[in-house]
Structure 1
Amino acid sequence: MTKTNDVRKYSLRMPKGWKPPFPSYTSEFDSDKTEIAMALFGLQFNIADRKKAVKAILDLKILVQNTQGCDYIDLAECIQDNTGKSQVVLTSYWLDGDKLSSLFVNKTFTQLWEQYADSSQPFGLYREVFNIPLSRYEIVHSHQDHLVGASHIRDSVSEEIDTHAYWGSMRDRIPDSSINRFDAEGAIEVVSQEKNRIVVAANHNLAIIRSDQNMNDSKGEERDEYYQDVYPTLVKGMQFLRDEGEEVNCYDCRFMSFLDDNGNSTDHTFGYAYFKSLEDLEGWSEHHPTHKAIFNSFKQYIPKHIATIGSRFGHEVSILPKENQFAEYINCAPNTGLLNRLNR
């Protein structure tokens, strides 16, 4: 991770003498890397059109994957978003944001994008694009071998860290939190709009969290207890953010499963959510009963199975300057993604 600022304006929230109840690790990036670009490409559809949408997203994946400069791609599916529709989503990571920008003017890409944008297609189309300063970013894993999202392009992995498993540790892991409170400024605003297409930018200091649960290698009692005791609380929390997120300033939440190369669902899930600010994300995490239930279930589950655990958990959090983001929605249902809290 990017080095924390030497001059600290705001204190750590770590309790004095803190000893974490289980180990965690962070992905590290060399000092010459200051930013990661992340672009999500999504198709929104009625479930009857899933086959067509999956074929389209796999074609898009091949195109993006063959573009020089894309460092990592994954595919995922949301069975039901906040509009009642389904989504398949391609998430791409780029260590060179200029190469991502060049994708958007690549003739092959623009032709395919406009083909998908035609209103005769059985799906809506969107892209959500972010340049993430590493000084405004944190990523944590339950195990050193756990690779998901941006950890696939890391330079190294840390030894055990102590800044985790207490309230406020998420903020403590973000380097610039030592000098910046990341207060929200402004609102989601329309950049441009024409017919079936709308481009928006969210408020300054938008907070994004991508939190994953990989059960592909879990077995026996460990697996059974997860699906009996942990998973139901996780689903309940994700549904709250999806359906009632306005209560905690969550703009949108998609609970998704990763897909394999053939478009089949795996046993690896993640929640992807936009909050107006880091303070709002923290408020839900620390105080709302839906997340407290998630936190407490994991806190009991992981130490119990830590010696032989096959499951893997982690998350990445980004705090976005307004100028580092945009999102385009074409033929999508009203309230999709960041449109859900437009001008609110």
Structure 2
Amino acid sequence: MPRSGPPGHAPRFTAYSARLPEGTNAFVFAQYACQAPSREAAERGATGLAALFGGPDGPDVVDRGSFLDTAGAHNAVLMAYWYDPASHRRWRESEPVRSVWDGLPAQGAAGYWREESVIPVERNETLHTHRREDYATSGLSQSAAVELPETQVHDYWGAARDRIAASATEKLAPALPVFEPQVPEASETRGRRVTVAVPGNVALIRTAQDWSAATLYRQKYLADVKPVKDRGVDFLAENPGSGCIAARNLMEESVDGATLDRACTIAWFVSLEHLMTWCRSHRTHLDIYASFFQMVGGGEGPLDVAFWHEVSVLPAGSVDAEYVNCDPRTGFLPLSTRHTTTATV
């Protein structure tokens, strides 16, 4: 039963929550990216990184996308999932991967960054408006081994927390109770390899939209919902006072860099409560919420734009974040300098 849902709650639409194979205790979500002044340069850098993702210990799922960050730089991002953290560890420690990543130049116009998270299953939740067999969306549930049973724990404020098993026994309070981002000087991050010690219980969300198979709701989504969603992500990216450490609005791409009819947002928050406070009370998210229900209330027929999200709360030591020659506003770099170590390469 929902722990915070209203009595007799009946969701207004059908949704599904992913269930990983029995015996899975944790999985890995990693972002590897190239940051450059032009999209072409960023795509070239990401293509070089993508060549590392093969082999027996490579990721189970790889998605690709790009976004323009608040500094005006282009970022081409590879989003990879491993269902076995041991396989990811062998991949990360393999000679080809270590040689290429550790040998990336810390000089020049391009930068590189990676953020890798080992996510305990009990600290993760997902929600899909369509089953995987209806739409081949990207992300955690893309593997055929992942089940998508229907869930009633949605469509009320606090449902995401209720779908995180650990929230029944843990407060998931932030290890960084006061968020005071301090953007470093460019001299501290450009020409350097910077590793950030990420505080415990930060929240990670990846939320996505797929209109590739849509006919009934395609134009409504693109005209009435997507612009509102984009404004909300822009607000988060530009306002760390919201508790959002970093927000990225990505257009997804094929393996060769061609733009797809899919998009996703990846954002880091100081805590789950900061994320949920923005969701339930800030005008930018309330506008997203309203535009979605105005669209689905139109009565044209079954919703044929697929939506899904993944939310995780990461324990201390489970996030590995490293930035090579990056703009000081990238990712976790704006955290207080007491959380960083730097090395000139």
User: What is the CA deviation profile of residues 122-143 of structure 1, one whole-angstrom value per residue up to 9, with x for unaligned ones?
Assistant: 3110110110000000011001
Q: Does residue 107 of structure 1 match 2:100?
A: no
- 1:174-323 paired onto structure 2 within 5 Å: 174-186=164-176, 196-219=192-215, 222-244=217-239, 246-304=240-298, 307-323=301-317
User: What is the CA deviation profile of residues 90-119 of structure 1, one whole-angstrom value per residue up to 9, with x for unaligned ones?
Assistant: 111112212222223322222322443341
8 A contact 1:73–1:93 mirrored in 2: yes
8 A contact 2:190–2:326 mirrored in 1: no
**1:52 is matched with which residue: 41, 46, 61?**
41
Provide structure 2 residue ranges, at least 5 long, that are not aligned to the other structure.
182-187, 339-345
Paired letter, 2:168: S
TM-score (norm 2): 0.88
Residue 104 of structure 2 corresponds to: 116
Residue 43 of structure 1 corresponds to: 34
Q: 1:39 to 1:159 in 2, by over 3 A?
A: closer
Residue 144 of structure 1 corresponds to: 131
Q: Does residue 16 of structure 1 match 2:7?
A: yes
Cα distance in 1, alignment partners of residues 190 and 206 from structure 2:
31
Paired letter, 2:118: N
Q: Does residue 163 of structure 1 match 2:153?
A: yes
Q: Does residue 91 of structure 1 match 2:79?
A: yes
Deviation at 1:31, TM superposition (A): 2.9
Cα distance in 2, alignment partners of residues 268 and 129 from structure 1:
23
**1:64 is matched with which residue: 34, 47, 53?**
53
Residue 125 of structure 1 corresponds to: 112
Residue 7 of structure 1 corresponds to: none
Secondary structure in 2 aligned to 1:138?
Answer: strand
User: What is the CA deviation profile of residues 164-206 of structure 1, one whole-angstrom value per residue up to 9, with x for unaligned ones?
Assistant: 11110110111111111200013799xx999611101221100
Secondary structure in 2 aligned to 1:36?
Answer: strand
8 A contact 2:225–2:291 mirrored in 1: yes
Secondary structure in 2 aligned to 1:202?
Answer: coil
Residue 8 of structure 1 corresponds to: none
8 A contact 1:65–1:73 mirrored in 2: no
User: What is the CA deviation profile of residues 244-300 of structure 1, one whole-angstrom value per residue up to 9, with x for unaligned ones?
Assistant: 1x2211001000011112101112111110000000000000000000110111122
Secondary structure in 2 aligned to 1:307?
Answer: coil
Secondary structure in 1 aligned to 2:107?
Answer: coil
Q: Does residue 25 of structure 1 match 2:22?
A: no
Moved over 6 A (4+): none
Deviation at 1:82, TM superposition (A): 2.2
Paired letter, 2:20: F
Cα distance in 1, alignment partners of residues 224 and 304 from structure 2:
17
Q: 1:104 to 1:306 in 2, by over 3 A?
A: farther
Cα distance in 1, alignment partners of residues 337 and 261 from structure 2:
37
Structural RMSD (CA): 2.3
Cα distance in 2, alignment partners of residues 185 and 308 from structure 1:
43
Paired letter, 1:54: E
Paired letter, 2:41: K
Cα distance in 2, alignment partners of residues 279 and 194 from structure 1:
33
Paired letter, 1:240: F
8 A contact 2:33–2:77 mirrored in 1: yes
Cα distance in 2, alignment partners of residues 109 and 69 from structure 1:
10
Secondary structure in 2 aligned to 1:186?
Answer: coil
Q: Does residue 153 of structure 1 match 2:143?
A: yes
Cα distance in 2, alignment partners of residues 98 and 157 from structure 1:
22
Provide structure 1 residue ranges, at least 5 long, that are not aligned to the other structure.
5-10
8 A contact 1:43–1:126 mirrored in 2: yes
Aligned residues: 327
8 A contact 1:22–1:302 mirrored in 2: no
Cα distance in 2, alignment partners of residues 212 and 306 from structure 1:
22
Secondary structure in 2 aligned to 1:337?
Answer: coil
Deviation at 1:67, TM superposition (A): 4.7
